[in-house]
Amino acid sequence: MPKGYWVSVYPAIEDPGKLEVYNELAGVAVKAARGRLLAGIGSRVDAHEAGVAERVVLIEFDSFEQAVAARASAAYQEALAELPDGFERDFRVVEGLD
Protein backbone atom coordinates (compact mmCIF):
# COMPACT_ATOMS: atom_id res chain seq x y z
CA MET A 1 0.00 0.00 0.00
CA PRO A 2 1.48 3.39 -0.96
CA LYS A 3 2.40 5.79 1.80
CA GLY A 4 0.79 9.19 2.16
CA TYR A 5 2.56 12.50 2.59
CA TRP A 6 1.67 15.95 3.78
CA VAL A 7 3.64 18.52 1.82
CA SER A 8 3.45 22.11 3.05
CA VAL A 9 5.28 25.05 1.53
CA TYR A 10 5.25 28.40 3.25
CA PRO A 11 5.93 31.17 0.67
CA ALA A 12 6.64 33.74 3.37
CA ILE A 13 6.49 33.82 7.13
CA GLU A 14 6.44 37.36 8.46
CA ASP A 15 6.29 36.42 12.14
CA PRO A 16 7.31 32.82 12.90
CA GLY A 17 6.42 33.34 16.56
CA LYS A 18 2.75 33.48 15.62
CA LEU A 19 2.98 29.84 14.49
CA GLU A 20 4.06 28.45 17.86
CA VAL A 21 0.58 27.37 19.03
CA TYR A 22 -0.24 25.89 15.61
CA ASN A 23 3.09 24.02 15.51
CA GLU A 24 2.53 22.55 18.96
CA LEU A 25 -1.04 21.42 18.25
CA ALA A 26 -0.20 20.15 14.76
CA GLY A 27 2.68 18.12 16.20
CA VAL A 28 0.31 16.45 18.68
CA ALA A 29 -2.19 15.71 15.89
CA VAL A 30 0.47 14.25 13.59
CA LYS A 31 1.90 12.09 16.35
CA ALA A 32 -1.59 10.81 17.26
CA ALA A 33 -2.09 9.82 13.61
CA ARG A 34 1.31 8.06 13.60
CA GLY A 35 2.81 10.53 11.14
CA ARG A 36 6.57 11.05 10.92
CA LEU A 37 8.22 14.41 10.30
CA LEU A 38 10.80 13.93 7.52
CA ALA A 39 11.69 17.58 6.85
CA GLY A 40 10.58 20.75 8.49
CA ILE A 41 11.48 23.72 10.60
CA GLY A 42 15.16 24.46 10.22
CA SER A 43 15.66 22.20 7.19
CA ARG A 44 17.75 23.67 4.38
CA VAL A 45 16.05 24.40 1.05
CA ASP A 46 17.67 24.77 -2.39
CA ALA A 47 14.79 26.18 -4.46
CA HIS A 48 14.66 26.28 -8.28
CA GLU A 49 12.41 27.73 -11.00
CA ALA A 50 9.39 29.30 -9.28
CA GLY A 51 10.36 27.82 -5.90
CA VAL A 52 10.84 29.99 -2.87
CA ALA A 53 13.57 29.09 -0.40
CA GLU A 54 11.27 29.16 2.61
CA ARG A 55 10.07 26.54 5.02
CA VAL A 56 8.96 23.20 3.57
CA VAL A 57 7.38 20.57 5.81
CA LEU A 58 7.22 16.91 4.75
CA ILE A 59 5.34 14.40 6.90
CA GLU A 60 4.99 10.69 6.08
CA PHE A 61 2.06 8.43 6.97
CA ASP A 62 1.73 4.68 6.47
CA SER A 63 -0.96 5.20 3.81
CA PHE A 64 -2.63 7.91 1.74
CA GLU A 65 -5.90 7.23 3.56
CA GLN A 66 -4.19 7.71 6.92
CA ALA A 67 -2.76 11.05 5.71
CA VAL A 68 -6.20 12.24 4.54
CA ALA A 69 -7.82 11.14 7.81
CA ALA A 70 -5.15 12.93 9.85
CA ARG A 71 -5.87 16.17 7.93
CA ALA A 72 -9.59 15.78 8.69
CA SER A 73 -9.09 14.84 12.37
CA ALA A 74 -10.52 16.98 15.14
CA ALA A 75 -7.03 17.39 16.60
CA TYR A 76 -5.64 18.84 13.36
CA GLN A 77 -8.70 21.04 12.83
CA GLU A 78 -7.98 22.52 16.27
CA ALA A 79 -4.42 23.28 15.11
CA LEU A 80 -5.67 24.90 11.89
CA ALA A 81 -7.86 27.25 13.92
CA GLU A 82 -4.66 28.66 15.43
CA LEU A 83 -3.09 29.76 12.13
CA PRO A 84 -2.79 33.56 12.16
CA ASP A 85 -5.05 35.73 9.99
CA GLY A 86 -3.70 36.31 6.49
CA PHE A 87 -1.35 33.34 6.77
CA GLU A 88 -0.42 31.74 3.43
CA ARG A 89 0.79 28.24 2.66
CA ASP A 90 0.49 25.58 -0.03
CA PHE A 91 -0.65 22.32 1.61
CA ARG A 92 -1.14 19.02 -0.22
CA VAL A 93 -1.80 15.40 0.69
CA VAL A 94 0.11 13.26 -1.81
CA GLU A 95 0.05 9.53 -2.44
CA GLY A 96 3.48 7.94 -2.63
CA LEU A 97 4.59 5.34 -5.13
CA ASP A 98 4.64 1.65 -4.26
Query: Which domain CATH number covers 9?
Result: 3.30.70.100
Domain total of the chain: 1
Query: Range of 48's domain?
Result: 4-95
What stretches of the chain show up as alpha helix (H) in DSSP? 20-32, 64-72, 74-80
pTM for the model: 0.88
Distance, CA of 36 to CA of 48 (rounded, Å): 26
Query: Which range, of 23-27, 49-53, 59-63, 93-97, averages the lowest pLDDT?
Result: 49-53
Helix (H, G, I), strand (E, B) or coil at 8: strand
Confidence grade of residue 88 (pLDDT, cut at 50, 70, 90): confident
Q: What is the pLDDT of residues 15-56, one digit of tens each?
A: 778 888 999 999 999 999 999 999 987 788 888 887 777 788
